[in-house]
């Protein structure tokens, strides 16, 4: 059982190849057929919730399409690891918005080929000045992203011309962010777990999931932060909490992946824009604890259902707090 976390910040998105300026670390959805009617282009494959139908790859009517669909999103070291028609975006390519995909990925440059991308079970995304085809996926208990620990099924967004106050105003497969509706498209995106997933001297960015030139700095996981600050104060990203929990630093991960959050933390939080999350979906990290003394920043050790352990979070009536016995007060998990 996992706890819920407010969703990733939505992106402003337009039609065609428009580039989002709201957060360059997150990709922008490019429609497979820009300019067609309907909120999301109106194509038969544009149901965001459908992902890739809960399966690996996608359907294709083009010769060799099945081979390309099976290979889209796989790890690779060079072009020889991908079938003809796809190329390898390596872990040193520096071709994404801020860095490179961990482990490399078989993909298609789709700036002028979004229909071809759609035909092999992908969706074309813009990263800075380039566009690449990424595999579609579905949230929940489905095979996804080739079982990779260094990728995750994550929500990407496309804004539609519908005003809203709450998610319910936007209909299925959409969320309300800052008064506007965004369709949610689940896609397999980079999600490095730490330095081991990135070739030296590159570092892992806990927000974009990419291997980047410089290790991010700032306040650690769980620290209080200020969303009104001109620059993000966190090593990860500052997000608002629910209720009176305040704004705190968060870092993202792949649910079910080994060592997803590094030493002393676990991938136990889910995102509200990734409903029914399961292994392989994007989640968020929380510091591991056995009792309150292990938690900083005014957080308490909240019981993780189904285990004797807990994670550091703002306490709630939904889960019991693991208080330290008097004799163990001041001790962290594993300490004497």
Give the pLDDT score at 314.
83
Q: What secondary structure letter does DSSP report for 202?
A: -
* 56, pLDDT greater than 70: no
d(CA 23, CA 11): 7
Rounded alpha-carbon distances, angstroms, from residue 254 to 27, 141, 223: 18, 14, 21
| Closest C-alpha to 158, from 26, 25, 303 | 26
Ranges of each domain in the chain: 3-212
pLDDT digits (tens, 9 = 90+) for 164-198: 998 889 888 888 888 888 888 899 999 999 999 99
Most confident of 30-44, 88-102, 257-271: 88-102
Give the pLDDT score at 176.
86
Between residues 13 and 8, the one the model is more confident about: 8
| Closest C-alpha to 333, from 271, 287, 299 | 287
d(CA 44, CA 57): 17
Give the pLDDT score at 175.
84
Neighbours of 112 (CB within 10 A): 10
């Amino acid at each position: 059982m996992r706890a819920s976390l407010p969703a990733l910040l939505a992106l402003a998105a337009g039609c065609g190849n428009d580039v989002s300026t709201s957060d360059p670390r997150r990709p922008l959805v490019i429609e497979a057929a820009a300019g067609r009617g309907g909120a999301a282009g109106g194509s038969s494959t544009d149901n965001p919730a459908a992902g890739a139908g809960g399966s690996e790859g996608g359907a294709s009517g083009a010769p060799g399409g099945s081979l390309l669909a099976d290979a889209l999103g796989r790890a690779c070291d060079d072009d020889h690891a991908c079938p003809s028609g796809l190329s390898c975006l390596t872990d040193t390519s520096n071709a994404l918005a801020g860095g490179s995909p961990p482990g490399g990925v078989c993909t298609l440059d789709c700036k002028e080929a979004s229909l071809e991308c759609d035909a092999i079970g992908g969706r074309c995304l813009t990263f800075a000045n380039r566009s690449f085809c990424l595999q579609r996926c579905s949230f929940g208990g489905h095979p996804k992203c080739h079982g990779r620990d260094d990728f995750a099924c994550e929500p990407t967004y496309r804004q539609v011309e519908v005003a809203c106050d709450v998610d319910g105003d936007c209909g299925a497969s959409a969320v309300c962010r800052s008064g506007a509706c965004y369709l949610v498209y689940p896609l397999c995106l980079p999600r490095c777990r730490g330095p081991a997933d990135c070739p030296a001297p590159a570092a892992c960015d806990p927000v974009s999931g990419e291997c980047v030139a410089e290790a991010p700095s700032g306040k650690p996981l769980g620290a209080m932060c200020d969303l009104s600050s001109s620059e993000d104060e966190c090593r990860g990203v500052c997000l608002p909490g629910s209720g009176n929990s305040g704004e705190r630093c968060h870092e993202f991960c792949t649910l079910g992946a080994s060592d997803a959050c590094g030493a002393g933390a676990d991938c136990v939080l889910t995102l509200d824009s990734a409903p029914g999350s399961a292994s392989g979906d994007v989640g968020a990290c929380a510091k591991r604890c056995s009792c309150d003394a292990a938690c900083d920043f005014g957080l308490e050790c909240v019981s993780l259902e189904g285990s004797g352990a807990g994670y550091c979070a703002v306490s709630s009536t939904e889960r019991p707090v693991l208080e330290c016995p008097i004799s163990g007060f001041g001790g962290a998990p594993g300490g004497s």
